Structure formats: C-alpha cells, structure tokens
Chain A
Amino acid sequence: MTKQSAISVRGLRKRYRSVTAVDGLDLEIEFGEVFAMLGPNGAGKTTTVEILEGFRPRDAGDVSVLGADPQRAGRDWRRQIGIVLQDAADAGELTVAEMVGHFARYYPAARDPGEVIAMVGLTDHAGRRVRVLSGGQRRRLDVAIGVVGRPRLLFLDEPTTGFDPQARRQFWDLIKSLAGDGTTILLTTHYLDEAEALADHVAVVAAGRVVAEGPTASLAGRSAAVSTVAWLDGAEHREVETDNPAQVIAELTARFGGSVPGLSVSRPSLEDVYLNLFGSMS
C-alpha cells in the first residue's frame, strides 16, 4: 500500500445473501486525481463507493481511504471527505441557503455558504425551497453540500443520471473547476463520455472487479492501438489497419500524387474499447 494514495483497495469483497456484488476489486487512486469507475448498472460501483464512504461493512479486503479504514474512521476522517449522494430527496422544505448553511456548521474550515452556492450556480435559487428545484439543480445542491466542508476527497456516485445534455455540460464544468482546485474526486458513471470528459484515470468495473484500468487517454492500450486508414480507390472503399498511420498516408499521397480521395483516419474511442471489453466477456 503506497502512503501517498488517497484511496487504496486490495481484494475487496462484498456479498448480499446469494449475490456477489464486489468480487476481488483493486483500486489505487492518487491525491489530486479525478478517477472514474466506469461500468454498467449492477457492476458493483455503488457498493464499492459506499464501502469507501464508510456506509457499508465489507466482507474481505484491505481498504484505506485518506490513510484510514472507513469502517472504523471517526469524525476527524468524515471532516475530510465529501459525499454527493446518488438519490437524495431530503430537506424539501428547507431553502437552498438554509441547507448549505446548516451543513457548513458541521465542518471546522467550511467554505462560505454563499460562495459555494454561487460556485454551483444556484445563487438565483438560494431562497427557494429544495423541493421545487429541478433534477439538475438538486444535484448541484448535493454537490454544494458535498464540498462546503472543503473536503480533500469527494465522492460522486452517478451524479448526472437523468440530466439533459445542457445540464450535464454545466455539471461537468463544475466538477472540472473542483478538480482544478486540487480536490481528489472519485466518480462513478455508466456514461463513457462523462469518464472521458472528466477523468484522469479510468477503471472499468464489471461483475464486481476491475477488468481494465489506466489513464483515460490510453485505457486498454488505446493510444497504442491500431488506427484504421480508409480512402476511396475509384468508387471502391479501401481500408488498412496500421500502427503507423502517417507512413500509410505518406505512401497514399505519393501514389495519388496529391490529395487522397475520401481519406479518413480513425482510432478506437473509449466506447469501442469498452464495448470490446464487454463483448469479449460475454
């Protein structure tokens, strides 16, 4: 276990009666990193996060979050982590300002509630009851509560499920600004583009374990993976797979004596990598 890691997980296991939710999962998350756990519903992401948050006991494995075991950690540890719940529907009768102000009281070095509300873009709604907020506004309030205590580590469990595209973009900008401040963020999502847009590191989780893991840009050897160069030879579609597309294009250019008709170069997207992983598993 490295001392510098914000989160270190070895061989985590959790069963619910007959269902194995987490089955030997390993994770290593460094400080200052935005780490995405990506996987389909039921892969064990939420169970894992809830164990890391100290909400659930585990059956087996070593877990260290900010240097402590979440199962035994106390209030001092809680002061350093922020949690954005997946499906909170509480405090409907309170206003946004009352809710953020109240939670600020639990932390010794809380951010100014007004500034946090501004940061999540709810200043215009600060005086409104929580129950009249839209889904996207509600999640942004959850983020405000999650970060008001100035956490070193923030948990975001499927934060944008059910968002419209515009709300998702705004939410991403918010998360990027938090990451820019140096907050370590563990994000779970089943949206590939979300992981790609936000995360430095991605772990693909399936059936309770990590099946692929790496920097987002090179997950599963994606940056080294073969590219497909396609062009038109007369009316005929031609393509070759190569790990040196520049060479192929240079040869084609020489052959066509200038521009190559219908030239395209494509690399596998994170989605292709992801679908390949799950395709090869089933």
Chain B
Amino acid sequence: MMTAIHRPAGTIALGLARGGVELKTFFRQREAVVFTFSLPVVLLVILGTLFSGEVAGTGITVGTLFTAGMIAAGIASTSFVNLGISIATDRDDGTLKRLRGAPMPAASYFVGKVVLVLVASLAEAAIVVGIGWLLFDLALPAEPGLWMTFAWVFLLGVTACSLLGIAASSLARSARSAPAVMNLPYLVLMFVSGIYFIPLSSLPQWLIHIGSLFPFKWMAQGFRSVFLPDALTVQEVAGAWEHGRVALVLAAWCIGGLVLCLTTFRWRSRRDS
C-alpha cells in the first residue's frame, strides 16, 4: 500500500479544505439553497412593489429605500439563519462527532464555516443589489469611499451575524427543529430592525429598542448609507447615518458573539449528552 508521508496540514489549510466541503454540501442541497437565497428576494420584490411613492423631497422611491435595507436581510439569511441551521445539522447527523474523532483542530471547522458564509453572503448581496438595480432604481455608488463603507459594514455584519448564528444553533434540539428555531427570531428581528417595515422610527419606542440591541438594524443602516443620498438620513431614527455607532455596535457584537459562542458551543447534540 502506498504511503504518502507529509507534514500534517495546518489549521488554515485544513480550514480551507473544510470550506470546500462546506460549499459543496451547501450548494448541492438545492431546496436549502433556493430557500436561503429566495426568501429575501421574494420579500424584496413583493414589499418593494407594495411600498410605492417617493420619500418626500428626496426624489428617491420608497422601493429604493427598502432595497438598501434588504441587503442586510439577505446577509442575515446566509449568515445567521443558514449557519445556525447548518451547525445544528452537523451536531445532529454525526458530522461534529466524526470531526472530533479526527485529528482536526477545532478552529479548522470554523474556518470552513467562515468560507461558506462569506461566499454565500457575497452571492446574496450581489443578487439583492442586482434586483434592486433592475427593479427599484438602486444606484450603484461611484465613490470608492462608499465601497469602503460597504466592505466594512459587510465584514463586521457577516461576522456578528455568524457568531450570533453559531450561538443560536445550540438552542435547536435537533436538525429538524433548527429551521424553526432560526427563522422565527430572524423574521421578528427583520420587522423591528427597520428592514421589512420602514421607516423604523414609525414603530413603538420599545420595539425600536429591541431591534437596536441586535446587529441587523445597524447593518441595514450601514448599507442604506452606502446606496442612498444623505438626504435620506431623515428616515433614520437618529436622523444621521451614525457610522461610528454602526461600527461600534457591530464590533461589540463580534466580541460578544465570540464570547457567547465559546461559552455555549456544544460538540454533541442534547439527546446524545
């Protein structure tokens, strides 16, 4: 029998190999792919069409305003929901157990998930922006500075939502219950984060407070600042884009989410422990 002796692969190399496996697994599950990508898109088309008219004195349609926020809904779907379900499934079907039995550094597993989430989230952002551009007059920003803003909102937002998704995956008792466990908070938070329902300032104060606790509201606000003229700040709760606060809250969620993951992550399903 042939022996290929080589140095054991490093954490990152194995993580990238995991990423390849994660992408294959995800994109071959056609129903899951269609659901993950199409829920935000279908809601964008329906709600974007329902919200007609112009935001007074800005020349921007409500549909455009809505689209900019829906990028955040799309990314929350591919990071928070999708990651929460996929980890709950890994825990339930033996994937995590098998990996624990192999000489794989735990970090490689998460590197693999990062690859999956980044690829899926970039694809989702491109789809939502593309549909917004086609149907709802979403203008692509010309200034490099705005694309820089897009990049950091995207990276901080994806990271925060992913960590929150990993932590939430532990709430699901089985792979079967995971979609419900992940989608209920997702849908509720989309409504109270100024994404499905705009403007956020028209909601009762206590709902605004709840929405403001989570990263989704801030991610949506960040994306609106990229795709909409500054005149639209009148629609924001604070009357400004608040870049500093967006960065601060998302970064805080990255750190808090990491702590939450480290303290709540389980390698085994509850039935098995």
Contact = CB atoms under 8 A, between A and B. Distances in A.
A98 interface: yes
B56 interface: no
A89 B94 CA distance: 6
A129 B174 CA distance: 23
Contact of A108 (B5, B28, B94): B5
A91 B97 contact: no
A123 B94 CA distance: 24
A105 interface: yes
Contact of A94 (B4, B5, B21): B21
A78 B103 contact: yes
B2 interface: yes
A112 B101 contact: no
A127 to B, nearest CB: 13
B100 A55 contact: yes
A75 B94 contact: no
Interface stretch (A21-29, A34-42, A80-88, A238-246): A80-88
B97 A106 contact: no
A62 interface: no
Contacts of B17: 102, 105
Interface string B56-93: 00000000000000000000000000000000001001
Interface in B220-234: none
Determine the interface band of chain A, counting residues with CB < 8 A from chain B. 20 to 34
Interface residues of B, number: 29
A111 B1 contact: yes
Interface in B1-47: 1-9, 14, 17, 21, 24-25, 28-29
Contacts of B104: 75, 106
A231 interface: no
Given A94-B25, A105-B17, A88 B93 contact: yes
A140 B14 CA distance: 24
B103 A79 contact: yes
A90 interface: yes
A115 interface: yes
A88 B1 contact: no
Interface in B159-196: none
Given A88-B93, A106-B9, A78 B1 contact: no
Interface centre among A53, A94, A102 (most CB of B within 10 A): A102
B103 A88 contact: no
B5 A115 contact: no
A276 B100 CA distance: 39
A83 B24 CA distance: 24
Given A90-B94, A90-B95, A105 B9 contact: yes
A115 B2 contact: yes
A89 B176 CA distance: 14
Contacts of B8: 75, 79, 106-108
B110 to A, nearest CB: 16
Given A79-B103, A107-B103, A91 B4 contact: no
A55 B9 contact: no
A91 B14 CA distance: 17
A93 interface: yes
A52 B133 CA distance: 58
A93 B25 contact: yes
A145 B14 contact: no
Contacts of B103: 75-76, 78-79, 106-107, 149
Contacts of B105: 75
A196 B95 CA distance: 32
B193 to A, nearest CB: 32
Nearest to A108: B8
B102 interface: yes
A10 to B, nearest CB: 24
A103 interface: yes
Given A109-B5, A112-B1, A112-B2, A102 B98 contact: no
A225 interface: no
A260 interface: no
Contacts of A217: none
A133 to B, nearest CB: 14
Contacts of B97: 55, 85, 88
A79 B101 CA distance: 9
B9 A93 contact: no
A109 B103 CA distance: 12
A10 B21 CA distance: 41
A105 B105 CA distance: 12
Given A93-B25, A93-B28, 11 more contacts: A55-B268, A75-B103, A88-B94, A90-B95, A91-B21, A98-B24, A105-B14, A106-B104, A108-B8, A109-B5, A110-B4
29 contacts: A55-B101, A55-B268, A75-B104, A78-B103, A85-B98, A85-B101, A88-B93, A88-B94, A88-B97, A89-B93, A90-B94, A91-B25, A93-B25, A93-B29, A94-B25, A98-B24, A103-B102, A105-B17, A106-B9, A106-B14, A107-B8, A108-B7, A111-B1, A111-B2, A112-B1, A112-B4, A115-B2, A145-B98, A149-B103
